[in-house]
Amino acid sequence: MQSSSPRFQLSRRSLLGGLAVLPILSLPFMASHSVAQEEPVEIPPPSRDLKEAGTAAKLVVAGGCFWGVQGVFQHVKGVTQAVSGYSGGSAETATYDQTSRGDTGHAETVEVTYDPSVVSFGKLLQIYFSVAHNPTQLNFQGPDRGTQYRSTIFALNADQAEVAKAYIAELDGLKKFDGPIVTTIEQFKAFYPAEQYHQDFLTLNPTWPYIVRNDLPKIDALASLFPQDYRAEPVLVGELATS
C-alpha cells in the first residue's frame, strides 16, 4: 500500500553527508492541494500550569507532519531535545512506511525534553496550540490526511492530562479559532524514535517545497508571537544513539 502522505513516496532512502537524500520523489500537493495552511493564532497561556522540579521533563505531542512540529520546539528556549517519532501503536509498526498507512494507531509524534526552570509545560502547550499546528483539523494537517496526522497530546501522567483538558476548554471558550478544538488527550504508552533521515529534517532541508510552504512559516510565527521564548539556533538531535 502506498503512503497516504503527499510529502513524498519513496522506494529507497539514504543519507549523504548528514543531509537527507530522498531519491524518488512525488509531490502531488504542489499541483493538486489547495488547502488552508496552519495559520498561527495568538492565544493566552493556560490559567493553570504544572509545578515541576528538576531540570528535565517531557511533553509528547502529535500535530501533523513531525518535521514542522519538531522544528518549532527545537527553536524554543529551555527545550533540550525534540525527537520525531511515533506513538499510539505497537513497536512492531513504529516505522514511517507502516505508520503512513494510517491503520497502525500511531501518530507522527514529537517527544520534547525541556528544563522546567526555563520553560513550563503550559508555555509549551501554548506554543503547540498557537503556532506548531492547527488544533481544529481532525485527522489532517494542511495537505496531509489520515489518523497518523491527528492532533493529540500523549499525557505522561494525570496532571498533564488535567492541565491540557482544562486549557482546551479555556481556548474553546475564548473562540480564538475558526472552529472547536479537536485535539485528543491519549494516555502515553510508548514513544518510538523515527528513522534518522526524519530527524532535524526542517533544518537540514530548508529549501524543500513542503518545508518552505508548510513549516518555515511556523518558525517565523514562533519568533513573532513568542520573542522571549524563541532562539535562533535550534537544538538538534544529530545521530540518535542506538543500543
Residues 6+ apart with CB under 8 A from 162: 48
CB 64 within 8 A of CB 47: no
CA distance 73 to 70: 5
Report residue 144 as a C-alpha cell: 496531509
**Dihedral, 53, 200, 104, 151 alpha carbons, nearest 10:** 60
The residue annotated as part of the active site, out of 43, 57, 61, 65, is 65
Say whether 65 is catalytic: yes
CB 41 within 8 A of CB 177: yes
Max intra-chain CA distance, the chain = 49
Give the position of cell 522571549: 228
Give the position of cell 548528514: 18
CB 197 within 8 A of CB 240: no
The CA angle 176-179-183, to the nearest 5 degrees, is 95
Residues 6+ apart with CB under 8 A from 180: 136, 172
The distance from CA 85 to its chain's CA centroid, rounded to whole angstroms, is 9
Catalytic machinery residues: 65
